Amino acid sequence: MAPAKPMPREGGMSALAQSSDDRRERALAALAEKPDGVVEALAAKAEVTPSEILGLLPEGAAVTVAKDAFADIWTDMTGWGKILLIVHTEDIVLEAEGSLPQGSEGHGWFNIHGDSPIGGHIRKDNCAAITFVDRQFHGRRSCSVWFMNEKGSAMFKIFVRRNEQRELISEQLAQFEALRDRYAGA
């Protein structure tokens, strides 16, 4: 027996398509209400994933590349100097400032250790995509690289740091833009 197909809804739209449209509308409404808000908070309010919110940003604000670029992107960012690493879950927003150490693969992990407060082990295989995000955040430009998992959430994010005047550090910003642009054209 063939699997049942979704019944068309009013206007001929399937329940699945309607659900997708509903998700999109909720996400758009959350973004419209607070376009420079915390992506995870917007996603929670709209009952969608952070990835869905990023996908609705204006063209160029979220550039997503294949997970295969993980090691190359990481290696490039090890030359940026001190960055801000953020891990954002529903229970904690953990911020660590330091240089990204070189990574090596072993025992199913991407291992990072070096002369930096940033260290540990990343399940690189859980990375589904990498998104370069360039958007307003609480009224200021914010640039970051999001390592996204299959669930549509950020595993962790690497942010371009700010100087004492709260402006993005120009050298790091140039490195972010060059790396993003290199992959955006790929």
Residues 6+ apart with CB under 8 A from 39: 50, 53, 54, 133
Q: Give the mean model confidence (pLDDT) for residues 109-136.
A: 96
Q: For the segment 28-86, what is each residue's pLDDT rounded down to a tens digit? A: 999 999 999 999 999 999 999 999 999 999 999 999 999 999 999 999 999 999 999 99
More confident residue, 168 or 4: 168
Determine whether 10 is exposed, middle or buried from the number of CB atoms within 10 Å of its CB (0-12, 13-18, 19+): exposed
- Average pLDDT, rounded, for the chain: 91
Q: For the segment 73-116, what is each residue's pLDDT rounded down to a tens digit? A: 999 999 999 999 999 998 999 999 999 999 999 998 999 998 99
Contact assessment for residue 122 and residue 108, using Cβ atoms and an 8 Å cutoff: no
pLDDT band at 19 (very low <50, low <70, confident <90, very high): confident
pLDDT band at 18 (very low <50, low <70, confident <90, very high): low
Instruction: Please give the model's pTM, rounded to 2 decimal places.
Output: 0.87
Q: Which of 5, 179, 184 is nearest to 76 (CA)?
A: 179
pLDDT at 3: 42
